Amino acid sequence: MATQAGDRRGLGAAARLVSERASAIVRLELQLAAAELKKKVVSLGIGLALLVGAALFVFFAIGFALATVAAALATFLSTWLALLIVTGSLVLLAGLLVAVGIVLIRRGTPPVPEQAIAEARLTAEVLKNGKH
C-alpha cells in the first residue's frame, strides 16, 4: 500500500510539474507573440509615415508642375492670363471629376446585390414548385 501512496504523490508532483511547464511555455509564447506584434506595428507605422511623406512630396510636385505650365504659358502670354488658363483648367478638371463621381455614386446606391437577390428568388421558386 505504501507504493500506491508513493505513486500518488509522485503522480501529483509530476502533474504539477507538467502544469508549471505548460504555463511557462504559454507565457513564453505570449511574450513571443507580443514581441512579434510590436515589431510588425513599428514596421507598419514607419511604412505608413513614409507613404504620407511621399504623398506630400507628390502634392508639392503637382503644384510645381502646374507653376511650370503657367510659366511656360507666360513666355508668350501675359502672366495673369497664363495663371488664369491654368486655374480654369484645374476648375474644369475638378468639375469633371465631381460629375463622374456623382454618377458612379448614384449607380452604386443603394448597395444591394440585385442580381443575387433575383437569382435567389428564382431558385426559391424552382425549389418550391419543383420545376427544373
Q: Per residue of the chain (132 residues), give pLDDT as tens.
A: 455 555 557 888 888 888 888 888 888 888 888 888 888 889 999 999 999 999 999 999 999 999 999 999 999 999 999 999 999 999 999 999 999 999 999 887 877 777 888 888 888 888 888 765
Please give the radius of gyration of the chain, using alpha carbons only, rounded to the nearest integer: 35
Distance CA 74, CA 70 (A): 6
pTM score, whole prediction: 0.57
Structural domain count, the chain: 2
Residue 86 burial (CB count, 10 A): 19
Give me the pLDDT at residue 1, please.
46
| Residues 18, 82 within the same domain | no
Give me the pLDDT at residue 61, please.
97
Q: Buried b vs exposed e over 51-64: b needs ≥16 C-beta within 10 Å?
A: eeeeeeeeeeeeee
| Residues 50, 27 within the same domain | yes
Give me the pLDDT at residue 23, please.
85
| Residues 65, 87 within the same domain | no
Distance CA 95, CA 89 (A): 10
Task: Please report, as a single letter, which amino acid is at residue 28.
Answer: L
CA 52 to chain centre: 15
